[in-house]
Structure 1
Amino acid sequence: MTGKDRIQIVKGDIAKIAVDAIVNAANTSLLGGGGVDGAIHRAGGPQILEECRAIVARQGGCAPGEAVITGGGALPAKWVIHTVGPVWNGGHKGEREKLAACYRNSLRLAEQHGIRSIAFPNISTGVYRFPKADAATIAYSTVLLFLDATDAIDEVQFVCFDDENYTLLLQQHDNAPS
């Protein structure tokens, strides 16, 4: 089975997806925020915040492009991988590389923890203003490259909250070689 065969594009609420792990588009403090981050913390309950506080106490926050893992609390997913996307500042400050690193580092953590199914939100395309078309290309190509190099992960879902991201990722999927 190719990497492409293991990728699904869905529209919905990532906090309701039943996979081994969901990815949270976190901020550097790891202490919850708005958008996807706030929704995951609300749905998952206080256990996620407690584990994030322990990570912060141990290592400080989480830098853009990096990822950390906690339990899933009350979520259907057993794990939450928290990654910090870059804020878009015109594209000349390493934003593309940091966004690709979010996906790679999240997948590496998944692999290390025996996670077979994982769901990603659209990282950095909200208040961080990353151009959605660029973000879709980077997300899809990074995940596809990773999956083509390993069979440790059976399923990756891109869970889109809005129509524009959904359409852009579907285009990536439809145009990817089989």
Structure 2
Amino acid sequence: MSTQTPSAEIADLIARCALRDRQAFRTLYGRTSAKLFGVVLRILRDRAEAEEAIQEVYIKIWQRADRYVAGNTSPISWLVAVARNHALDIVRARRPQADDLDVAADIPDAAPDPERRMQSSEDGERIEHCLSILEADRADAVRGAYLDGYSYEELAQRHAVPINTMRTWLRRSLIKLRECLSA
């Protein structure tokens, strides 16, 4: 039995994938594919397209595992970002292309500058710390609602509690997070 936290275990699997460890990749896929499939399916809204996309997501994860930097972001957040960005790329590709490519030169770069990236990294660490103070099921519910986009109903079913209880969990958890973050 592993003594690592689930997050540390996923980070270790990603690191081993960067070293081209196929068994680690199989394990990573087994542990994370359902979650990432859910993310992709929510964006694409087509099961067949999501099934194809999730395979492409894992190819990207295999190819880019060496880009994951432990400590900058949680490993599951990095995986979700890869899946989400790939699914959004598919959605964007569905749209007709603009006739005038010169217009693209006038669009400002939305990517954060280095100072903002550093601040975002520090904020992420503070948020993860504050989430760790919450009870595990409450933290999972907050992540599900605000990172993964689950509805109150879906979270209530997932945690086997009434919907009003889920609303209370989320409201109280957000209050605790606000207090922790402002401390």
For normalisation by structure 2, the TM-score amounts to 0.27
Where is the strand percentage greater, Structure 1 or Structure 2? 1
For normalisation by structure 1, the TM-score amounts to 0.28
Where is the helix percentage greater, Structure 1 or Structure 2? 2
Higher relative contact order (CA 8 A, sep 6+): 1
